[in-house]
Structure 1
Amino acid sequence: MKTNLSPVVAGFLLFFVFVSCIKDTDFDQVDNVDLTPTIDLDLIYFNLSASDFYDPATSTSVLTVSDTTELRFLNDIEVQRNLKRAEFYFKFTNSIEREFQADFQFLTPQNDTTYTAQTVVAQGTVSNPIITEFIENVEGADIVDLTQASKVIVSVTIPSSNANLEGALNLQSKVTYYVEL
């Protein structure tokens, strides 16, 4: 003897699905949802050798070396409006027997400065490279200034240099943007 219970079971399951999905659902809560994504991006990196701080053709020291990086992410109007905080992380590895001053200058397309930061990079040696980490948090009123920047210039300055100087200065950095939608 065969009995066909599948239409009866399917009917009960369908009834419970409709009742459970709608009962006690507050659709007004959808207006109270805040999305807070974080966006991690690589920012600046370079590898400088000690010879970059000395010009053998003129036998003179080159005390400052600079590099410019575009900040395309900040060009978006929605990002500018919704950015709440930015955290910049810089990691220097120095095997040059000199301390460095590192300056970060954020500029508008018209080259007006909107934000600056600086740090000192500890002296290292070829046999014992020293790591210097620097974190810069930008929030509050400063975040508005930062969002106007379209590029950042990093400049590293050495107090003195000569032809016999050895080693390298490396920089790796990233930025984490905290957005609220």
Structure 2
Amino acid sequence: MKLNCINSIVRVFAVAILFLSCSSDLDFDQVHDLKLEPVYVANLAYFDIPANELIADGGVQIAYDSRNFDVFKKQFLRDYLAKAEFDVEIENTIARGFVINMLFLDSQDQILTTSSYTVPAYKGSPNVIKYPTEVFENQRLALLKQTQKIGFVVLMTSGAPLDENSVGNIKLRSSATTYFEIEVE
């Protein structure tokens, strides 16, 4: 009997403490001060061109290709993208130097901006070059947001001509790091 009485007193005391606990008013207006800053990394472009596809008829050969880049058709990206960084790595195993131009084109195929990369000739040792990060902010970012296509122009520098028996290849790998600012007013 005495144990039952003690249990009852403990229960009543525990319930009383729950009702006496501290609480504060919740400020739901804090949601208006919400600012998210997500960062995403994605592949941007890749190509691998064998040397025998770059046969020159007397000097510099131009290889050109463009791809649709409809990322900015989405309103979310146009509204909230605050900054973009492009990283480019090129590997050359062809005994010839190159200049690679990455063209950012609008819907009328007009060049908005260009990034150029000089690639030295392969001389028997690893020839992988990581280029400085291209940063797109402010006015340059505004141009990037107008991009509808990305084009690549591959120019050969002077040197021994290539033919159908030429070996090696040139590879480009690139990625984009995008920074967003999403703010609820």
Matched residue type, 2:125? N
Deviation per CA, 1:30-63, whole angstroms, max 9, x where unpaired? 33332111121101111111111017xxx77771
Shift of 1:140: 1.1
Structure of greater Rg: 2
Q: Judging changes above 3 Å, is the alpha-carbon distance between structure 1 residues 9 and 103 closer, same or farther for their aligned structure 2 residues? A: same
- 1:75-90 matches, cutoff 5 A: 75-90=73-88
- Structure 1 residue aligned with 2:14: 9
- Structure 2 residue aligned with 1:54: 55
- Structure 2 residue aligned with 1:146: 144
- 1:24-43 matches, cutoff 5 A: 26-43=27-44
CA distance in 2, matches of 1:131, 1:14: 69
Matched, 1:133 2:127: no
Matched residue type, 1:179? F
Structure 2 gap segments, 5+ residues each:
none
2:60·2:157 contact (CA, 8 Å) conserved in 1? no
Matched, 1:169 2:170: yes
Normalization by structure 2: what TM-score? Answer: 0.80
Matched residue type, 2:97? E
Percent of residue pairs identical: 25
Structure 1 gap segments, 5+ residues each:
none
- Structure 2 residue aligned with 1:159: 157
Runs of 4 or more consecutive aligned structure 1 residues displaced over 6 Å after TM superposition: 59-62
CA distance in 1, matches of 2:99, 2:84: 22
SS of 2:14's equivalent?
Answer: helix
Normalization by structure 1: what TM-score? Answer: 0.82
